[in-house]
Each structure stands twice: as C-alpha cells, then as structure tokens.
Chain A
Amino acid sequence: MATAVPAMVDPAQGEAEERYHRAKQRAIRRRRLMPLVGAGTLLAVWAALVYGLEVPPYIAPSPLRVVETLYMRFGMLMTNLAPTAIEAISGFLLGNVVAIIIATVFVHQKTLEEAFFPMIVLINTIPVLAKAPILVLLLGNGIEPKIAIAALICFFPTLVNMVRGLESVNPQAMELMRVLSASKREVFFKLRLQNSLPYLFSALKIAASTAVIGAIVGEWIGTTVGIGALLIHAMYNFDSALLYATAIVGACFSVAFYFVITLIERLVVRWHAPPVT
C-alpha cells in the first residue's frame, strides 16, 4: 500500500519549512509569555490599590507582605497543610473507589440502580456546608469527618461519569462481543472498563480540586489545625497577610493534585479519547 516518497531536493521547500518552524516557535513563546504578562499586570494593580488608597493591613495586605508571610511562616503553613492534604487525598481515594465499585454494581444490577440512584441524587443535593455538621456529630472531632466530607464530595461526579462511561459503549462493539459469544466478565474487562477510562478521568480531575475544598470546609468546624482552621483563625485575628498566604498554599496544593491526576491520565489513556462533556 504505502509507497516510499523519493527524497525531495527543492530549495523552496526547505525555506517554507524553516519559515513554518520559526512561526511555530514564535506562537509557543507568545502562548507562554502572555499569561505571565497578565498575572504581572494584576499584581501591579493590586499593589497600586493597596499603597495608593492606603488600605490598612487588617483589611487587605500588599502582595509584598503576602510573599513575606509565605517566606517567614513557611514552616507553620506546611504544618497546617499536612493534615488537610492527608484528609483530601484519603477522601479522594475513598470516595472514588466506592463510586467505581457502586457504578460497576449498578451496570450489572439494573434493579439496584433503579432503587438507589434517586436516593444518591437526593443526598447529593444537600449542600456541603449542611453535610459538614451532620458528619461532625456522627463521626466526632477527629480526622474522620473531614475525610468523609472530602469523600462525599468526590463520590457523586465519579459515580455519574463512571456509570455513563461503562454504559455508553458503541452498540456495534456490543454486537461484536455478542457474535464472539463473549461472557459478561469479558465484556466488562475488554470493553466497558476501557471505554469508561476517559469518563473516569474527567471526573477524577474535578474530584482532585473538590476533595481539597471538602477537607477545608470540614476543618471550619471543631478543629485547630489544617488550612481550613488557619483561614478562620487568620480572619478572626484580622491577619490579612496570613489569610491570603494560607489561601495561596491551599490553591497550590489543589493545582498540584490536579496536575498529578492529569499525568496519570496521560499514562493510562494513551489512545485518542472521545469527547467527554
């Protein structure tokens, strides 16, 4: 089928290729530079407002003071990040594993899905802020209610996406498995599970950031350590620089978590994924 293309000796082609590569390099440099320009502008406006309007430090800090706090109190910030990270990651693992297992059961036992899915939707409509005190009453003041909140918040999007990924198999691929007399088990492992991976990862990426939110919200109630507790503490003490620094630490952890999931996705889903909405 494929025929070898004879080597071209055409000076115009080489020139066109070089021009194309130079244009591409320029586009890449622009794409990297422009967000930095945008961020720099916003920081400058922030600093100008704080200094120009002489905003007192108990209302809003200058960017410089936030950087200073990040540097001076780095150890203390990290000590508080540790429990939040443990809660978020544990909740992430727990919530997603349970969601994947329940999705698998639902796909094979339609009756169970019909009976329990409406209940799960109902529980999901309760706001996180309302679920938190309920779980604190149930599980106490320790690390458990925080993990439970993070897990609950991850659970629902993963369950919905996983069920959809396992069920939205190409009908002709399903017929193919039928012609091949494949067992239910083979259909699950060779077809459904693989098909669900892009759907699963799009849910996991959402869960990576919401798990952190869940852990932080959990720490607002009845605890003295963690990013959530530190935020509340800084607010009551009018320590705006610490408040901002804590928020930045939480955000950085969220981004790092998201990034790790994206890396794992690239390793696992190597084929061209269908568009997932």
Chain B
Amino acid sequence: MATALAQQSPVTSAMPAVECRGIGVRFVTDRQTVNALDDISFTLKQGAFLSLLGPSGCGKSTLLRVIADLVHPTAGAISVLGGTAEAARRARALGFVFQDAALLPWRTAIENVSLPLEVGGGRKRADGPSPQELLALVGLKGRENSFPHELSGGMRQRVAIARALVSGPRILLMDEPFGALDEITRDRLNVELLRIWKETLTTVVFVTHSIYEATYLSQQVLVMGAHPGRVREIVPIDLPADRPLAIRESDAFVRIAAHLRGVLGAE
C-alpha cells in the first residue's frame, strides 16, 4: 500500500510547496484593527514537515488558513506549489485537518472519508487509495460503519486525517489536530502521523502550541510571536528521521526544546 500512496504525490521538482513573501493579514472590527499577521516570509520545500509554534493569538491558525485559501492576505504574496493558493485549493492539492475533527455526525466513518469525493467535482483518482485503505492506514480497519458519536476523540481525529488524505493532497494542513486529546492518545497519534507522513510523502504544515510535539514531529519549526503575529525564528530540528518516542529523553531533543522555549520567551 505504501507504493500506491506514494504514487499520488510524487516529489517531482524543486518547486517549493509554499512560498510566503511579506504576508500580512489585518482584521478590522468596531473596536480595533488587529494585525493578525505581519511581514511573514518563509519557503517550504516539498515533502517537508513544518510546525508553526507560538502562543495563542499569534496568528498561526490564520497563517494556515492563508495557505488553504480560507483567509486572504491583505499584504504580500503567497505561492502554493508554484501557483496561487486558490488554484491549489481547486486542484485538490490541499488537505485540511481541523482541531475538532469536524466530522459530519450523520455520516459513518467511511462516509465521512468519502465526502471529498462527492463534492467540489472531486472524483476518485484511479490510482489513489480508497477510503477503506485510508481507514486502514490510520488504524481504523473494522470501524468503517461507526458513527462519529460512537468513536473516541482520538479515533475521530484519525477519521479526519483519512478524509484529508482521500483526494491525494500534496500538502496536508493541520490546525492543532491533537490539541483536545489526552496526552497518551496524543503521543500515539504523533507516532502514527510521522509514519503516515513517511508513507504518503506529503508536505505537512502542523500548527501546535506544544514545544515537545513540534520538536518531536518536525524537520523545521517556525516560531511565531504575537501582537502582531510574526516570524521569530525558523529552527531546523536536527534529529534522525527515525524517531521513537524515547527520543524525547535524549540530550539533543532536550537541547532543541530548550532553544525553542528560549525563542518563544524572548521578548
């Protein structure tokens, strides 16, 4: 199955997955004008795993939504896979995983995973993985016909990941997907997410406010500051590609986490 999954998202060119230049987002309300994002610039190459790390209100979810074409920047330019964010969205190059899973409660697990194939002209690619295969990939074989209320929080989030992968996206955008889960479930899903990332060769942009989650998962961490939301530092994570959970007790891991904490606290 690993080969079938890999075929749908070939890393063909050196074209960056996401390139932001001077992105700014400004919300105007009655009381104030909020600079949600200010002068964000970075380049993300295809196949990478990038975490956006920062305190609440630093605009990391907004930045994710700019990439997904859900929020339009008021300044700067963004290119996704060499084109506009809208083109990437229409081409189904983007998969989005929300914090609360956002499954449709009247659909079973398998029907939720199939939703992207039913709307927006998204038909199944002949060579892509089937909803059944994807549910198996996220470890939910046998729960195809369960309704969301019959699944645990962790299982619902697994269904949401399978749903995001069903149209074979080249970039997977994840908005604090494990934020509402208990730590034990979260650890397990972190391990599985790394496995899925390696099997599917997708680019992942992962929003979190957990230093340990960011360090454990990422190749790079983009540390953000608040008011206005901006880039503090892009920290490369120099850990081996193969990461058992125990790596979190290693000296290298602790040093990187301490550095991230320092960058977050520098004000």
A: residues with CB less than 8 A from B are 1-2, 170, 172-173, 175-183, 186, 190-191, 194, 197, 269-272, 274
Q: Report A270 CB to chain B, min CB distance, Å.
A: 7
Of A186, A191, A271, most buried by chain B (CB within 10 Å of CB) is A271
B147 sits at the interface (CB 8 A): yes
* 29 pairs from A and B in contact (CB 8 Å cutoff): A1-B140, A2-B142, A172-B100, A173-B102, A173-B104, A175-B65, A175-B70, A175-B98, A176-B96, A177-B120, A179-B89, A180-B92, A180-B119, A180-B122, A180-B167, A181-B90, A181-B92, A181-B119, A186-B118, A190-B115, A190-B118, A191-B104, A194-B104, A197-B106, A270-B106, A271-B105, A272-B105, A272-B147, A274-B105
B149 sits at the interface (CB 8 A): yes
B: residues with CB less than 8 A from A are 65, 68-70, 89-90, 92, 94-96, 98-100, 102, 104-106, 115-116, 118-122, 139-140, 142, 147-149, 167
Closest to A268 in B: B106
Q: Report B235 CB to chain A, min CB distance, Å.
A: 28
In contact, B102 and A172 (Cβ under 8 angstroms): yes
Residue of A175, A182, A183, A269 touching B96 (CB-CB under 8 A)? A175
In contact, B120 and A176 (Cβ under 8 angstroms): no
Q: Which residues of B contact A271 (CB under 8 A)?
A: 105-106, 147-149
Please name the 8 residue pairs, one residue from A and one from B, whose CB atoms are nearest each other, closest first: A272-B149, A181-B120, A172-B102, A182-B119, A172-B98, A186-B119, A180-B120, A271-B106
Q: Which residues of A contact B95 (CB under 8 A)?
A: 179
Closest to A190 in B: B119
Q: Report B167 CB to chain A, min CB distance, Å.
A: 8
Q: Report A94 CB to chain B, min CB distance, Å.
A: 28
In contact, B102 and A180 (Cβ under 8 angstroms): no
Of A179, A191, A272, most buried by chain B (CB within 10 Å of CB) is A179
Q: Report A53 CB to chain B, min CB distance, Å.
A: 56
Closest to B91 in A: A181
Residue of A177, A186, A194 touching B106 (CB-CB under 8 A)? A194
Query: Roughly how many angstroms separate A180 CA and B163 CA in the complex, as a whole number?
Result: 11
Q: Which residues of B contact A175 (CB under 8 A)?
A: 65, 70, 96, 98, 102
In contact, B102 and A181 (Cβ under 8 angstroms): no
Q: Which residues of B contact A269 (CB under 8 A)?
A: 106
Indicate whether A186 sits within 8 Å of B120 (C-beta atoms), given known contacts A172-B100, A175-B98, A194-B106.
yes
Indicate whether A180 sits within 8 Å of B115 (C-beta atoms), given known contacts A2-B142, A270-B106.
yes
